[in-house]
Amino acid sequence: GCCIISGGKVSSFSEVTDVTFRELTADEIESYADTDEPYDKAGGYGIQGLGSALISHIDGDFFNVVGLPVGRLFNEMKKVQM
């Protein structure tokens, strides 16, 4: 979710993105866990890094998964005229 506050105006929104993992073997999960990548991620994987190999598909905004729905935020900021 995001909240924009500017000049007394408040705009907030949330964005939903569904991420579907492919069928993973125990060895694949262990191998990924053995890398340093998952340990500083809120979801425990990095879709923009090695974790991309674990994903079968996403429904929604890729950038939302990475951390910030940049396109939506830009459009909302234009509405508030920051």
- Could you read off the pLDDT tens digit of each residue along the chain, which spans 82 residues? 999 998 888 889 999 999 999 999 999 999 999 999 999 888 899 999 999 999 999 999 999 999 899 999 999 998 887 5
Q: Are residues 27 and 52 in the same domain?
A: yes
User: How many helices (H) and strands (E) in the chain?
Assistant: 3, 4
In a domain, 64, yes or no: no
Could you tell me the two tokens for 8?
């007394």
Q: Are residues 25 and 48 in the same domain?
A: yes
pTM over 0.85: no
Q: Are residues 22 and 47 in the same domain?
A: yes
Neighbours of 60 (CB within 10 A): 13
In a domain, 46, yes or no: yes
Q: Are residues 48 and 80 in the same domain?
A: no
Pairing assessment for the beta strands 2-6 and 9-13 based on DSSP bridges? antiparallel
Q: Are residues 23 and 53 in the same domain?
A: yes
User: Would you call 40 helix, strand, or coil by DSSP?
Assistant: helix
Q: Are residues 10 and 23 in the same domain?
A: no
User: Domain range holding 41?
Assistant: 18-59
